[in-house]
Amino acid sequence: MGTAVPASAHDMSKIGKANIVSAGIHHSGLIDTNSSLWMWGANYEGQLGNGGIGNGEDGIGKYQTIPVKVLDNVISVSSGENHTVAIKTDGSLWTWGGNYDGQLGNNSTKDSLVPVKVLDNVAAVSCGNNYTAAIKTDGSLWMWGNNNYGQLGKGVPGNSVIPVKVLDNVAAVSCGRWGHTAAIKTDGSLWMWGYNNNGELGNGGEGNQKTYTMEGIVSLQDVPIKVLDNVIAVSLGRLHTAAVKTDGSLWMWGDNDYGQLGNGSRKTSTVPVKVMDDVAAVGCGSSYTAAIKRDGSLWMWGDNGQGALGNGYVGNEKINQGRGDFPVQTLPAKLMDGVAAVSGGTLHTIIVKTDGSVWACGRSGELGNGSTSNSTDIYGYAMQTTPVKISTLTAKLK
C-alpha cells in the first residue's frame, strides 16, 4: 500500500485487518507489542475490564487517566459507548462493561466489570452504541444488543441478549455510534442497515420501516441492503459513513453538520460522494473523520470543538451553538506523516505512528496521558489540541 506498516483505523473493518487501537465514547483500548490489551478513560460501567477501579473519580464514577493492562494474548479490540470487546489469539471473543441492552451477548442485561467469554472461532468484531457485531471464521455475521433502529439487521423488532446470525460470506463489519451498521461481503459488496434519517446508509435516505422518536418520524432499514461494490474498508461515525474502494478512492455520505464528509460543505448527502484518492485507511469519529493515505500521511476533518483534529484548534469555518464559536474543518487537512493507525472517538483521537509510538489529542482525561492538557474548550473542559505522546505504550503493528 506504500507504507512501511499496513494502515488501519477505528473499526475500519478493512478486509483481513484487525484493530490494534480503538477509541470509544470516553474510553480507549490498545494492543501492545506483547499482544497485551491496555485500556484507559471512563470506567463508569466497567468498560475498562479491570474490576471497575480507576485512579480518579467524578460525579458519574471511576475513570483511569493512564493505561492499565487488562488482558494478554489479544489480537483485536473494539470500544463502544460503554462496553468493550476483544478477540484473543485462540479466536475466543470476550466482552465487558455496560450491558443494559444485552450488548455483551452473554444472555443477561447485567453489567460486567471483568471480561466474560461469549463466542469461539471469531475473526473480527465491532462495537456500536450498545450493540455488537462479530464475524466467525466461517464468514457468518452475528449481532446482539440494542435494536431500536433495526441495527441488528434481523428483520424483527426487539433487542437481543444473545448473538443472532444475520449474514453469510462476510469479510468485515463496522457498527455506528448511533444505530447503523455496515458489512463488506467476500465479493467486495457493501451492505448496510439500521438508522437512516440522515442518509447514513447511502441509499438516498430510504428505509423499509419508520419509527417514532423525539425528532419525529425517522426512516430505518431493519434488513441488510446492498449499497456499493468494490469496497475494501468501511467505518461508521455517529451519523455518517466512510468507505474505501479497491482503487483507493474514499467515498462518504450521511450527516455533515460539522463538515465530517470532507467535501467542502456542511450539507447532508444521502448518497456516496467521492472525497479523496490514494487512501489506505479511514476511521470515523462521532462527528469527524480521519484518513491515512498510502504514503502514511494522516488527514483530518469535521468537528474540532474539543481539539480532536489535533491541528491546534483551528478550522476553515466556525460554528456557534450558544456557548461561543468553535472550529470545524470541511475539507481534509494534513496533520502528520508516518502514521500506521488511527482511531476516532467522540471527543478524542488515538494515533499510532509507524514506529509504534502512541499519540493522543482531544478532550483531556480520555487520552491516557495523565490528564495533562494545553487548553480548554468553549464549555470549560480541558483539551489537548495537538497530539501528545503516551510514553508508556508501544503498539503492535504486525
Is residue 168 one of the residues assigned to a domain? yes
CA distances from 43 to 30, 203, 295, 384 (A): 16, 37, 36, 21
Q: Which of 196, 289, 311 is nearest to 234 (CA)?
A: 289
Is residue 146 one of the residues assigned to a domain? yes
List CB contacts of 58: < 8 A, sequence separation 6 or more.
Answer: none
Could you give the CA distance from residue 326 to residue 315 in angstroms, rounded to a whole number? 9
Is residue 3 one of the residues assigned to a domain? no
Is 362 in contact with 372 (CB distance < 8 Å)? no
Could you give the CA distance from residue 269 to residue 210 in angstroms, rounded to a whole number? 20
Supply the DSSP string of 82-151, one letter for each residue: SEEEEEETTS-EEEEE--TTSTT-SSS---EEEEEEEESSEEEEEE-SSEEEEEETTS-EEEEE--TTST
Name the grid cell of 74.
489479544
pLDDT at 321: 82
Instruction: Flag whether pLDDT at 9 surpasses 60.
Output: no
Indicate the Cα dihedral angle 55, 113, 101, 342, nearest 10°: 60
Instruction: Tell me the pairing of strands 339-344 and 8-9.
Output: parallel
pLDDT at 364: 83
Is residue 339 one of the residues assigned to a domain? yes
Q: What one-character DSSP code corresponds to residue 48?
A: T
Is residue 2 one of the residues assigned to a domain? no
Per-residue pLDDT tens for 53-109? 999 998 899 999 999 999 999 999 999 999 999 999 999 999 999 999 999 999 999
Q: State the CATH number of the domain containing residue 339.
A: 2.130.10.30
Is 79 in contact with 127 (CB distance < 8 Å)? yes
Per-residue pLDDT tens for 376-387? 999 898 999 999
pLDDT at 323: 85
End-to-end CA distance of the chain: 14
Q: What one-character DSSP code corresponds to residue 32?
A: B
Per-residue pLDDT tens for 287-346? 999 999 999 999 999 999 999 999 999 999 999 988 899 999 999 999 999 999 999 999
pLDDT class of 6 with cuts at 50, 70, 90:
low
Q: Give the three-state DSSP class for 27.
A: strand
For the segment 128-133, the average pLDDT, to the nearest whole number, is 96
Is residue 256 one of the residues assigned to a domain? yes
Is 67 in contact with 30 (CB distance < 8 Å)? yes
Could you give the CA distance from residue 356 to residue 370 in angstroms, rounded to a whole number? 20
Instruction: Flag whether pLDDT at 3 surpasses 60.
Output: no
Supply the DSSP string of 154-175, one letter for each residue: SSS-S-EEEEEEEESSEEEEEE
In the chain, the percentage of residues whose pLDDT exceeds 70 is 97
In the chain, the percentage of residues whose pLDDT exceeds 90 is 88
pLDDT at 372: 85
Instruction: Tell me the pairing of strands 298-303 and 325-336.
Output: antiparallel
Is residue 1 one of the residues assigned to a domain? no
Is residue 138 one of the residues assigned to a domain? yes
Owner of C-alpha cell 494515533: 351
Is 48 in contact with 27 (CB distance < 8 Å)? yes
Domain span at residue 229 reads 8-394
Entry pTM: 0.96
pLDDT at 10: 58
Provide the domain count of the chain.
1
